[in-house]
Structure 1
Amino acid sequence: MTLRYKILAGILILAVTLLIAAEATKPEPVNWFPSYGKIDKIPFGTYIFYDQLSSIVDKDRLEEVNIPPFEFIDSTKMGTYFFLNSSVYNDEAEAQKLLEWVASGNTLFIAANTVSKTLLDTLNLSTAYYSTTKLIKKRPLVNLSNPQLKSRSPYLLDKDVSTTYFDEIDTLKTTVLGVFDLMKDEDSTQIKEPKINFIATPFKKGTIIINTFAEGFTNAFMLKEGNARYTAGALTYLPANGKIYLDHNYKNSKAVAESPLYIILNNKYLKWAWYTLLLTTVIWVLFEGKRKQRSIEIIKPLPNQTLDYTRTIAGMYLDKKDNRQIAIHQINHFMEYIRSTFILATDKKDQDFIEKLAAKSNISVLEIKNTIDFINTLKPKAVITEDELIQLNSYIENFKKYHQDGRIN
């Protein structure tokens, strides 16, 4: 390696090192992705909720489900099915199966901003998105309706989020469990215009509970002082007995990393160590390859001498003027061509043979009969003239040509 290359390599490595150091020491930005994943510690993950759930509900009652409800539900599963995500959209078939399961005496608890339309229509419910142009900040205030669970001051999520509420309910059957409003005039001490976001409604022998404020179960909400009481209060509506099936299929972020690089790329220090390794490898390949590269000798391939050999053998026969031997070779070669191409035995060249060959080759019976008759005439002869040899070759070449061209009678 020349001095010039060494200087350039040193400058490049120094620049990369400074860039990596600057990136590694830069504060990592907050990830506001609404993952709702069990292991996610980001603001809208649910690590705290699932970590504290066993202190609110008996751990033996909890069972995690990682497959779709359509596959999981059967007559042996009794209890409560708990869904938590920004959106829980069950298709029509799955929604009907969930409703049948609830109808047999089970409970469905859904905490999601968006719920399957099939479920809403069946329960005579309708949701709407609440927004106002008067407010710069759209930070929700929530509270529970039960006087024993209701807080004097509502619970605040100090983050602008989309808000969904029930604008239409079946008042004869539906019980309002909680309300919300957007914080107005920097006043977080009261809900001025309550809107329903938490309801329970009976369905035949079972119960369906829906909370459209899914953020109330996330890390960002529960870490704010006092907010965990809202989440705990919402969970009091779970049945006191029976299994609780925790859904992990309807999650924006799956609970288990599927790629080995997940750990590396989601850790700032491991990520930059990985990038450094890749860059160092590329630099080493470039400079080491230049140093060791050598010209490769071109080896000519062996010539194909089959054609020369054929010409030599043909010349030997022509020089001897042994027309009969040449004719016998041509006939034998032609018979082998018929056997391999048309899968026909050539020991008997009778009328049946001629008809079968005509059918398979798509050549007229008359042309094939003329060729076979001429061959049968030549074979017994002790001397064959050049004209006869040329005529034989003409018959054979015409047969092959007609067959390859697909001549139709």
Structure 2
Amino acid sequence: MNKTFKIYAVIFIIVMIILVLFEANKTERTDWRKNFDISQKSPFGLFVFNNEVNALFKNKIKKTSETPYDYYQADKKPHNILVVEEDLDRQSWNKILDQVSRGSDAMLIVSEMPKQISDSIGYYDSQISFEDENVLKLTDRKFTNDFIHLDKFPSGRGFTFIKPGVEVLGKTVEKNNSDQANFIKISFGKGNVYVHCEPLFITNYYLLKHGNVRYAQDVFSYLDDRETIWFVENDAKVSQFFLRFILSNPALKYAWWVFLGGLLLFIFFNAKRKQRIVPIIEPLKNTSVDFVKSIGNLYLQEGDFHDMMAKKAQYFLNKVRMDLLIDTQHLDHEFAKKLHLKTGKPVEMIDEAIQLIKKAQDPYAQVMKEDLAKMNKLLDEII
């Protein structure tokens, strides 16, 4: 066991001990999120309501994970519809309203009126109060003694615009504000739509308080004694991720992240220290210049200046044809004029260069080394 591995092992053990101590001394925290989940035992879950719903509806309730749009593909006889804080699409709301118009009753326990419903039955503005406490009461005198005192995070929502013909069944009473409607009934076709905008009254926290269940019983008593369809969230939406058990347990989750962090550190430091040496590759040399020098030295040694001038002239004229698009068949005054206009070089320089080119093209001309050097310099300056 090398020294590096021992250091990693000691660090890992120390971190694990610290996490265990934190976990052992951690106080249980209450989840106050308003999840309205039938499987959650947190204060604002619906676990208790889900267990007591059969008694509330006299065993005439049916839960379905289908959306209303999928469930109502065939005609159904009149029944009750229950929706609790569900995010349904427009098509599903339209299906619910279609069933209500045929004689069913729908009870919507939602903190905000769905736009699809409000557009169909009339506009209802919602008001929000920020009081820490309020009381939910029903307007019917026979329910005077049945109320719920909300002392934990009430939404404070209520309806501020009540359309004529809408019956107010319940209200929110606050100390510093006027009463506002929170439970209404709207006739729609052959049926009715009931909307309660404070779903907290059916959560675990409030149903477990003594006497509060009576208020829930009173609210649901407005529905006829018949089959009730409760649309709940699809249970099939449970994550199928292979690590869901580990990540759902806080202790296992911490251990998993520590393991991954340690593994990444181990890979990083070992890869850095044991990286293979990259060999130095010499770049390829450009031998073109050396080749040209060799050929030039060969011509100089042979003393064939005339041939070198001819090749230089041929190269120059080819470049004039390709780059400047000037005809080089006749090296006359017209050629010199065009070359002067396109290059901007003095006429005297161009005339002198033309004379040297003609001399290079004449196989019988006597050429000296100085002629080659002079022509080479002139042609390089022109282009």
- Is the shorter-chain TM-score for this pair beyond 0.5, marking a shared fold? yes
> What SS does the corresponding residue of 1:10 show, helix, strand or coil?
helix
8 Å CA contact 2:158–2:180 kept in 1: the answer is yes
How big is the shift at 1:103? 0.8
Instruction: Quote the residue 2:210 is aligned against.
Output: 225
How big is the shift at 1:278? 4.4
Q: Distance in 2 between matches of 1:113 and 1:294?
A: 60
The AA in structure 1 aligned to 2:224 is: P
> What SS does the corresponding residue of 2:62 show, helix, strand or coil?
strand
The answer to whether the aligner puts 1:204 opposite 2:189 as a matched pair is yes
Of 235, 247, 261, 2:243 maps to: 261
The AA in structure 1 aligned to 2:115 is: K
How many percent identity over aligned positions?
24
* Alignment CA distance shift 1:19-1:205 (3 Å): same
8 Å CA contact 2:53–2:61 kept in 1: the answer is no
Q: Distance in 1 between matches of 2:148 and 2:15?
A: 50
Spell out, residue by residue over 1:311-359, the C-alpha distance to the aligned partner (whole angstroms, 9 max, x if none): xxxxxxxxxxxxxxxxxxxxxxxxxxxxxxxxxxxxxxxxxxxxxxxxx
Q: Distance in 2 between matches of 1:52 and 1:38?
A: 11
Instruction: Quote the residue 2:354 is aligned against.
Output: none
8 Å CA contact 1:38–1:255 kept in 2: the answer is no
Spell out, residue by residue over 1:140-197, the C-alpha distance to the aligned partner (whole angstroms, 9 max, x if none): 3111222222326x4222223332211122343x22221113355xxxxxxx732110
* Alignment CA distance shift 1:268-1:228 (3 Å): farther
* Alignment CA distance shift 1:74-1:165 (3 Å): same
Instruction: Give runs of aligned pairs for residues 74-85 of structure 1, distance below 5 A.
Output: 74-78=73-77, 79-85=79-85
Instruction: Quote the residue 1:63 is aligned against.
Output: 62
> What SS does the corresponding residue of 1:115 show, helix, strand or coil?
coil
Of 202, 217, 220, 1:235 maps to: 220
How big is the shift at 1:90? 4.2
Gaps in structure 2 of 5+ consecutive residues: 280-383
Instruction: Quote the residue 2:16 is aligned against.
Output: 16
* Cα root mean square deviation, aligned: 3.3
How big is the shift at 1:105? 0.8
* Alignment CA distance shift 1:289-1:13 (3 Å): farther
Instruction: Quote the residue 2:157 is aligned against.
Output: 164
The AA in structure 2 aligned to 1:108 is: A
8 Å CA contact 1:138–1:182 kept in 2: the answer is no
Larger Rg: 2
Q: Distance in 2 between matches of 1:285 and 1:7?
A: 14
The answer to whether the aligner puts 1:178 opposite 2:170 as a matched pair is yes
8 Å CA contact 1:24–1:269 kept in 2: the answer is no
The AA in structure 2 aligned to 1:264 is: I
8 Å CA contact 2:136–2:148 kept in 1: the answer is yes
Spell out, residue by residue over 1:355-398, the C-alpha distance to the aligned partner (whole angstroms, 9 max, x if none): xxxxxxxxxxxxxxxxxxxxxxxxxxxxxxxxxxxxxxxxxxxx
How big is the shift at 1:111? 0.1
* Alignment CA distance shift 1:31-1:122 (3 Å): same
Q: Distance in 1 between matches of 2:33 and 2:239?
A: 16
Instruction: Quote the residue 1:35 is aligned against.
Output: 35
8 Å CA contact 1:123–1:170 kept in 2: the answer is no
> What SS does the corresponding residue of 1:245 show, helix, strand or coil?
strand
Q: Distance in 1 between matches of 2:263 and 2:45?
A: 36
Q: Distance in 1 between matches of 2:188 and 2:107?
A: 13
> What SS does the corresponding residue of 2:45 show, helix, strand or coil?
coil
8 Å CA contact 2:137–2:173 kept in 1: the answer is no
Spell out, residue by residue over 1:34-73, the C-alpha distance to the aligned partner (whole angstroms, 9 max, x if none): 21111011222111111111122233x2222223222221
Spell out, residue by residue over 1:178-235, the C-alpha distance to the aligned partner (whole angstroms, 9 max, x if none): 1113355xxxxxxx73211011222121111110011111112222332222222212
8 Å CA contact 1:248–1:254 kept in 2: the answer is no
Instruction: Quote the residue 1:359 is aligned against.
Output: none
Gaps in structure 1 of 5+ consecutive residues: 185-191, 299-409
8 Å CA contact 1:24–1:272 kept in 2: the answer is no
How big is the shift at 1:259? 3.4
The answer to whether the aligner puts 1:271 opposite 2:264 as a matched pair is no
How big is the shift at 1:88? 4.4
> What SS does the corresponding residue of 1:35 show, helix, strand or coil?
coil
Instruction: Quote the residue 1:214 is aligned against.
Output: 199
TM-score (norm 2): 0.62
Q: Distance in 1 between matches of 2:230 and 2:9?
A: 55
Instruction: Give runs of aligned pairs for residues 183-198 of structure 1, distance below 5 A.
Output: 183-184=175-176, 193-198=178-183
Q: Distance in 2 between matches of 1:207 and 1:248?
A: 21
Q: Distance in 1 between matches of 2:89 and 2:195?
A: 14
8 Å CA contact 1:88–1:115 kept in 2: the answer is no
The AA in structure 2 aligned to 1:245 is: I
The count of aligned residue pairs is 278
